[in-house]
A and B are shown apart, each in its own frame.
Chain A
Amino acid sequence: MAIIAPGTAVPEIVLKREDGSDFTQADLQGRTTVLVFYPFAFSGVCTDQLQVYEELLPELAEKDAVMYAVSTDASPSQTAFREKLGVTIEQLSDFEPKGTASRALGAYFEPGGMTNRALVVVAPDGTVAWSYEGANPGELPGPDKVREGVAAVAA
């Protein structure tokens, strides 16, 4: 499954915020959004990734960009994971129906039944500005990739 291409409008999606409310494509309007797809809460390598990305939040805020982390874990697990990591990056759950939003964005890894390791940057008008998919779920995109994606919006 190929990751959604730049220039594509984000289709209808429904994810759950940590407070249980819906997060849809309408929530992407008005500012830059960085969606970080990670395979599973509490799996080893994800731990580092979001802790590193947390360091980028001040510079993202300066660019009026907001970051969310997306997985197919249920919201309570995501919240526990976020708290364990000591990060503030809001979690979006693609739990039920499992993986539907991730599939719509090409960020689902079918062989593993999980979200792939991917980044999707959405411009304030709701179109994809930049996307990146790891060669495999074990490959972590570095913070330089996040910066590259956000820079693509300004370009």
Chain B
Amino acid sequence: MAVSADPGARGPHVAGPPDGPHVVLWGDVTCPRCQQAVPRLRSAPVCLEWRHLVLRARGPRPRALAGALEAAAAQGAFWPVLDALVAQPGRTEDPDLWALAERLGLDVARFDTDRRGDAAAARIAADLRDGLAAGASGTPAILVPGRPLDHGVPDDAWVAALLAERG
């Protein structure tokens, strides 16, 4: 199934070398496979874009953590927070989030307001809408423009093949 995506389009949460291959990951911080996929892609020379795939069926926590990521992004700390949450999935309760925000030097009160705010909710909804349209049937859903959507956890061979494909 080929998925069309505008290769030039980039959402707000992008990291890695801008000239590296564009890899879009729809994920959920509570998903163990996403917790594996994120550090692998973070350490690869790819331009990684995170999109939320928050499903109601998984309960309230995925949405709460996606909100925390948006609140962190509002203070320029999206990636440190994502890295911390996937590295320590057992430490993602609210007090853990406040401690993390404090450790990163964020305005904790603002962080706590923003994560429940309309801007975060709108971003989460938009990401879900786009993920469903792209054909995501679970997490992680990984899109490399021009390729079929992939639901596996990328390993070294996956990254090597992607880089080789680019020449």
* Interface pair A49/B132, CB less than 8 Å apart: no
Residue A141 at the chain B interface, CB threshold 8 Å? yes
* Interface pair A142/B1, CB less than 8 Å apart: yes
Once A85-B57, A86-B58 are accepted as A-B contacts, the answer to whether A48 and B135 lie under 8 Å apart by CB is no
Residue B139 at the chain A interface, CB threshold 8 Å? yes
* Interface pair A48/B132, CB less than 8 Å apart: no
Which of B55, B59, B151 is close to A55, meaning CB atoms less than 8 Å apart?
Answer: B55
Q: Bound state CA distance, A85 and B128, in angstroms? A: 18
Once A52-B132, A55-B132, A56-B132 are accepted as A-B contacts, the answer to whether A141 and B137 lie under 8 Å apart by CB is yes
Once A140-B151, A142-B149 are accepted as A-B contacts, the answer to whether A54 and B57 lie under 8 Å apart by CB is yes
Residue B48 at the chain A interface, CB threshold 8 Å? no
State the majority secondary structure of interface residues on A. Answer: helix
Residue in chain A with minimal CB distance to B149: A142
Nearest CB of chain A from residue B151's CB, rounded to whole Å: 7
Nearest CB of chain B from residue A81's CB, rounded to whole Å: 12
Nearest CB of chain A from residue B30's CB, rounded to whole Å: 12
Residue B138 at the chain A interface, CB threshold 8 Å? yes
Mask, B136-154, CB within 8 Å of A = 1, is 1111000000000101000
Contacts of B137 in A (CB 8 A): 48-49, 52, 140-143
Nearest CB of chain B from residue A98's CB, rounded to whole Å: 26
* Interface pair B55/A144, CB less than 8 Å apart: no
Q: What interface size band does chain A fall in?
A: 10 to 19
Contacts of B128 in A (CB 8 A): 55
Q: Bound state CA distance, A13 and B139, in angstroms? A: 34
Q: Bound state CA distance, A68 and B1, in angstroms? A: 24
Contacts of B149 in A (CB 8 A): 142
Identify which of residues 109-167 in chain B touch chain A, using a CB-to-CB cut-off of 8 Å: 128, 132-139, 149, 151
* Interface pair B55/A143, CB less than 8 Å apart: no
Residue in chain B with minimal CB distance to A144: B135
Residue in chain A with minimal CB distance to B54: A55
Contacts of A47 in B (CB 8 A): 138
Residue A45 at the chain B interface, CB threshold 8 Å? yes
* Interface pair A144/B138, CB less than 8 Å apart: no
Nearest CB of chain B from residue A35's CB, rounded to whole Å: 17
Contacts of A141 in B (CB 8 A): 137
Residue A63 at the chain B interface, CB threshold 8 Å? no
* Interface pair A142/B135, CB less than 8 Å apart: yes
Binding site for A on B (CB under 8 A): 1, 55-59, 128, 132-139, 149, 151
Binding site for B on A (CB under 8 A): 45, 47-52, 54-56, 85-87, 140-145
